[in-house]
A and B are shown apart, each in its own frame.
Chain A
Amino acid sequence: MNEIAQGFWDAWWLILTFDPDLYEIIFLSLQVTVSAVVIASVIGLPMGAWLAVNRFKFRRYVIALLNALMGLPPVVVGLFVYMMLSRAGPFGSFGLLFSPSAMIIAQVIIITPLIASISHQTLRDLWAEYHDLLISMNATRGQRIKALIWDGRRALLTATLAGFGRAIGEVGAIIIVGGNIDHATRVLTTAIALETGKGNFAFAMGLGMVLITLAVVINLMIHSLGKTERASTW
C-alpha cells in the first residue's frame, strides 16, 4: 500500500514540477488522440448522417457491419496497420512505421466505426423527426445531412467523446505501430505498459491516474464548451 501511495506522490511530484519527460508523454498522447478523433469525426459523422438519410439495398447489412466494427480488436488493427506500413507493405515507402502518424492511422481505424455508428443511431431519430419537413422544403441530400449534423451537434458530442475515450485509453494497436520509442512514440498508455513490465507498479499507477484525470477533464471541458445538459440551449 505504501508503494502505491509513494507512486501517486511521485506521479504528482512529476506533474507539479513540470517534468519534461512526463509532459512530453502527455502532449504526445493528446496530439495523437485529438488528431485521430478529429479525422475520425470528419469521416464518421457524415457517414452516420448519410446512413441515416439514405435507403439502399444492403443498408441493414452495412449498419450491422458498422456496429460489429465498433468492437474491432485493437491488436489486430495494429497488426494490419503494421503490415501496411512496414517496408514490405504497400505504404512502406512513406516511412510512417514507428511514428506518431502510424499511431494516428491505427486509432482512426479503431474509432471511426464507433463514431459513425453512434452518430447514425442519434441522427436516425432526428431524421425521423425532420424527414417530412426537409422533404417539403426540397432540401438536397447534402443539405439534409448538413442540417442533421448541425441540429444534432450536441448529441453528436457523445459520439465524439466515446471515440476520444476509446482512443486515449488504447494501447494494443499503438504499441505495435508506434513501438513505444522514448521521446518519439511513447504515450501514457504505452508508458504504463512499459513501467508495469519493469515492475514499477506504483509509477505506472501514477501515470494511470494522470490518464484518467486527463480523460475526465477533457470530457468536462467539451461538455462545458458544447453547453450540453442545459435546458435553455436544448
Chain B
Amino acid sequence: MVIGPNGAGKTTLLRLMHGLQRCSGGEINWMVPQAQARQHQAYVFQSPIMMRRRVVDSIAFPLILRGASKAEARERALSCAGRFGLGELLQSWAPMLSGGEKQKLSLARALITKPEILFLDEPCANLDGSATREIEAILQLAQKEGTRIVMSSHDMGQVRRLADDVIFMLDGKVHERADAGSFFAAPSTSEARAFINGDIVE
C-alpha cells in the first residue's frame, strides 16, 4: 500500500511503475522492456475511464486487444462479470453506470487478463462504505489467486484491513517503508506518526 498526504507523489509513483509517465531521472527496472512488463500488469484509475460500450464489451476489450476472438472474449467476459456482481448489467452502457459499478467494471476489465501485478490508484476514493467493502472483497480474492496488488489509499482503515507492506510518501519521496504491522505499531518518523493519527503532516 502506498500512502501519504495529497501531493506526496503516490499517483506519480504508480504511473511511473506502470509506464504511463516517463521518468525525469532514474529508471524503473522490470528486467524486461516496459511495454513487455505492462503485458503482465493492469491499472485501475481513481476516476474510472469508461469506454463508450456496453458492460460486456468493455470487460472483453483487453482480451480482444490480446488477440482473442470476439466470441471467446465475450464468453470469458460473461463469466467474469458474474463474479464482480455485474451480471445484471451486461447490456448496460458503461458510462451510464453508478460510481461503484464503474469501479467494479474497471476491476473486472483489469483482472480479466489475470495480471501478475495490479496497480490501483485510490480505487475507493469516491465510493460509499458498502461499495468499498465489495471492492475490497474482490481485491482480496484477486490476491489469493496470485495477483500482487500495489494500491494507493487515503483511508487508514482500508490500509489496516488490506496492507501487507506500507510505503509512506512525502514530498515526492519514499519517507518510510515497513510491513503493515510494524508501521502502525511503531512508525519510525514523526511525519508518519502524524499521518496515522490524522494530524497535519508538514
Q: Do A and B come from one complex?
A: yes
Residues on A facing B (Cβ under 8 Å): 129-130, 132-133, 135-139, 143, 147, 151-152, 231-234
| Interface contact B18-A232, CB-CB below 8 Å | no
Q: What 0/1 pattern do residues 169 to 181 of B give for CB contact below 8 A with A?
A: 0000000000000
Q: Assuming the A-B contacts A132-B20, A135-B20, A151-B51, are A234 and B96 also in contact, with contact meaning beta carbons closer than 8 angstroms in the complex?
A: yes
Q: Assuming the A-B contacts A151-B51, A234-B52, A234-B93, are A136 and B35 also in contact, with contact meaning beta carbons closer than 8 angstroms in the complex?
A: no
Known: A129-B49, A130-B51, A137-B61. 10 other contacts (CB 8 A): A132-B43, A135-B19, A136-B38, A138-B35, A138-B39, A143-B65, A147-B61, A151-B52, A234-B52, A234-B93
Residues on B facing A (Cβ under 8 Å): 18-20, 35, 38-39, 42-43, 45, 49, 51-53, 61-62, 65, 93, 95-96
The binding surface of chain A is classed by DSSP as helix
A158 to chain B minimum Cβ distance, whole angstroms, is: 15
Please, which residue of chain A has its CB at the minimum distance from the CB of B64?
A: A143
| Interface contact B18-A136, CB-CB below 8 Å | yes
| Interface contact B62-A132, CB-CB below 8 Å | no
7 closest cross-chain pairs (CB), A and B: A133-B49, A151-B52, A136-B43, A234-B93, A138-B38, A137-B62, A234-B52
Residues of B within 8 Å of A133, CB to CB, are 45, 49, 51
B12 to chain A minimum Cβ distance, whole angstroms, is: 13
Q: Which residue among A132, A143, A231 has the maximum number of chain B CB atoms within 10 Å of its CB?
A: A132
| Interface contact B65-A139, CB-CB below 8 Å | yes
The binding surface of chain B is classed by DSSP as mixed
Please, which residue of chain B has its CB at the minimum distance from the CB of A232?
A: B93
Q: Which residue among A129, A138, A143, A234 has the maximum number of chain B CB atoms within 10 Å of its CB?
A: A138
| Interface contact B51-A233, CB-CB below 8 Å | no
B120 to chain A minimum Cβ distance, whole angstroms, is: 12
Partner of B45, one of A132, A138, A232: A132
Residues of B within 8 Å of A137, CB to CB, are 61-62, 65
A155 to chain B minimum Cβ distance, whole angstroms, is: 9
Q: Which residue among A129, A135, A137, A231 has the maximum number of chain B CB atoms within 10 Å of its CB?
A: A137
Q: Assuming the A-B contacts A136-B42, A233-B93, are A151 and B53 also in contact, with contact meaning beta carbons closer than 8 angstroms in the complex?
A: yes
Q: Give the distance in Å from the alpha carbon of A205 to the alpha carbon of B120 in the complex.
A: 64
Q: Give the distance in Å from the alpha carbon of A130 to the alpha carbon of B51 in the complex.
A: 8
Residues of A within 8 Å of B96, CB to CB, are 231-232, 234
B58 to chain A minimum Cβ distance, whole angstroms, is: 10
| Interface contact B51-A147, CB-CB below 8 Å | yes
Please, which residue of chain B has its CB at the minimum distance from the CB of A140?
A: B65
Q: Give the distance in Å from the alpha carbon of A76 to the alpha carbon of B93 in the complex.
A: 46
| Interface contact A234-B95, CB-CB below 8 Å | yes
Residues of A within 8 Å of B49, CB to CB, are 129-130, 132-133
Residues of A within 8 Å of B20, CB to CB, are 132, 135-136
Residues of B within 8 Å of A147, CB to CB, are 51, 61
Q: Give the distance in Å from the alpha carbon of A234 to the alpha carbon of B57 in the complex.
A: 15
Residues of A within 8 Å of B19, CB to CB, are 135
Q: Give the distance in Å from the alpha carbon of A67 to the alpha carbon of B3 in the complex.
A: 47
A49 to chain B minimum Cβ distance, whole angstroms, is: 15
> Can you give 23 A-B contacts (C-beta < 8 A)?
A129-B49, A130-B49, A130-B51, A132-B45, A132-B49, A133-B49, A133-B51, A135-B20, A136-B18, A136-B20, A136-B38, A136-B42, A136-B43, A137-B61, A137-B62, A138-B39, A143-B65, A147-B51, A147-B61, A231-B96, A232-B93, A234-B93, A234-B95
Residues of A within 8 Å of B38, CB to CB, are 136, 138
